[in-house]
Structure 1
Amino acid sequence: MTQPLFSKFWIRISLFTSVLLPFSCTTIGFHQTKVRESLSYGEQATVRVCVIKEEGIEDKDVFTLFEAWNEELSFYQLKAEPSILMTMERPGFYGTDILEYLILFKMPSQCDRLLYLKGRTWGDILFEVLTLGIFAGVGVKLEVQGAVEAKTNTKGYIKAKYISTIQLLFTSPKSTLIHEGYHMLGCGHQLFMKECYERIRDVKLLLTDPNRDPNFFPNINSSGRKILKRPI
């Protein structure tokens, strides 16, 4: 039986969003090299990132992830310097539980950003199997690999440990960190990255703002508000 044209349309849309888009979101849009290189990002600067990690994530894993992130940040005369705060049990199963925990977590004085590295439990494995079945059935990928809170864009998490074949087809812990790392510099999602380049330039310009806490690397949140002081 021939499928109705309407059904074929939505099947194609589903395939596009579940297959094509994840590949394009290693960053948060498509790079525009000429546009990026036409902007000035000022002098080299360092963003101090405090890390909370789960059991099973080794210190060497953290530094390997940051090597990949710093390779991307080098475009903007930036470097992310990790500082491991502690290893802990997950505060809840869902990503929303982690974000709620981070929002209430007081940013230490030696930190400009706070990053939670989510590991892999038996519950995660079962959830991966479930989402794989849904993906195979209807072409929708439900699993979230990371997120950043929108109030200050200074706290977020990524899924830092997984080995599922379907996950590795779409992303990796390194690409997820790069993606969420852009959000931690105030960038949103876009098709092309011109606005993101300008946002990073503007964030770095805030380093000279006289109202800035001199011991904090500033940010601009998702709504365009300047974050000049360390979040509580």
Structure 2
Amino acid sequence: MLKTIPYLLLLLVFQCTTIGFHETKIREGMSFGEPASFRVCILHEPNITQEEIQNLFVAWNEELSLYNLKAEVLVLEEMERPGFWGTDILSYLMTLPLTKECDRLLYLKGRTWGDIAFEVLTLGIFVGVGLKLEVQGAVEGRSNTRGYIKAKYQSTIQILFTSPKSTLIHEGYHLLGCGHQLFMKECYEKIRDVKLLLTDPNRDPNFFPNMTTSGKKILNRTQVPTYSQQN
């Protein structure tokens, strides 16, 4: 049992803090084209400050600079969380169409008394059986254009394995079409291919394109699915 603990810890770190392990030589040998930017529209809970939002994007843009990319933040609205669970948040986001100002849509989840109680519960489960139940963020898989992160937290598990900045970087890779992999080569190729879509003649010139993890091209907002709340 003791021999398995390092592997469990490695798996937890891999799941929580990164999309995969960087392969610097491979990345530096690839061309990611000219500098480009995309617009990320933000919805956030009332207890998240503008300074915290800006600090998150500074960290994300430092990572994105590896690919000649920059995320431009546009804060749309302060609003209460549409539900306690991450699935509630994603379901709500799927009802919102991407407007002409937005290439991606991101909800920043705060920290309530209910979250604190859940953190205590999950910490007990983690200590007891080594199972981590708390999810720090997610991106929908139909177009990889909407997602959420937990932007304010401080439980023991979270401090050990992740942070709001690393969570945004992780989910930010999903927002550029990357899936999960052990090493980053496939993700580098996906980001390169997404940037190549900027030259696609069928692209809406007012939309930063994307690809799904299965390789489907998202060239305009009409290809981004939107569902009614009844669905």
For this structure pair, what is the TM-score category when the shorter chain's length is used for normalisation? over 0.9
Query: Does structure 1 residue 105 correspond to structure 2 residue 96?
Result: yes
Q: Secondary structure at the match of 1:177?
A: helix
**Using the alignment, how far apart are the partners of 2:40 and 2:103 within structure 1?**
6
The Cα shift of 1:13 comes to: 4.5
Instruction: Write the letter of the residue equivalent to 2:20.
Output: G
CA distance in 2, matches of 1:95, 1:205: 32
Structure 2 counterpart of 1:220: 211
Cα distance in structure 1, aligned partners of 2:3 and 2:99: 47
Q: Tell me whether 1:159 sits opposite 2:150 in the alignment.
A: yes
Considering only CA atoms, is the larger Rg found in Structure 1 or Structure 2? 1
Post-superposition CA distance 1:108-130 (Å, at most 9, x none): 21000000000001100000000
Output the TM-score relative to the length of structure 1: 0.93
TM-score for both structures, normalised by structure 2: 0.93
The SS at the match of 1:104 is coil
CA contact (8 A) 1:14 1:140 kept: no
**2:12 is equivalent to residue 22 of structure 1:** yes
Match of 2:106 among 75, 100, 115: 115
Decide which of 125, 133, 139 is 1:134's aligned counterpart: 125
Contact 2:212 2:218 in 1 (8 A): yes
Report the alpha carbon displacement of residue 27 of structure 1 after superposing the two structures with TM. Answer: 2.5
Aligned residue-pair number: 222
Residue type at the aligned position of 1:68: A
Q: What residue number does 2:83 align with?
A: 92
AA partner of residue 65 (structure 2) = S
**Is the 1:15–1:139 Cα contact (8 Å) retained in structure 2?**
no
Separation in 2, partners of 1:97, 1:219: 24
**Poorly superposed stretches of 4+, deviation over 3 Å:** 11-15
Identify unmatched segments of 5+ residues in structure 2: 227-231
Give how far 1:106 is off: 1.4
Change (3 A) 1:12 1:141: farther
* Residue pair 1:52, 1:117 contacting (<8 A) in 2 also: yes
- Give 1:204's aligned residue: 195
> 2:27, 2:188 within 8 Å by CA — same for their partners in 1?
yes
Unmatched runs of 5 consecutive residues or more in structure 1: 1-7
The Cα of 1:15 is off from its aligned counterpart by: 5.7
Give the superposition deviation at 1:24: 3.2
CA RMSD in angstroms comes to: 1.2
Equivalent residue letter for 1:22: L
Alignment of structure 1 residues 178-197 onto 2, 5 Å: 178-197=169-188
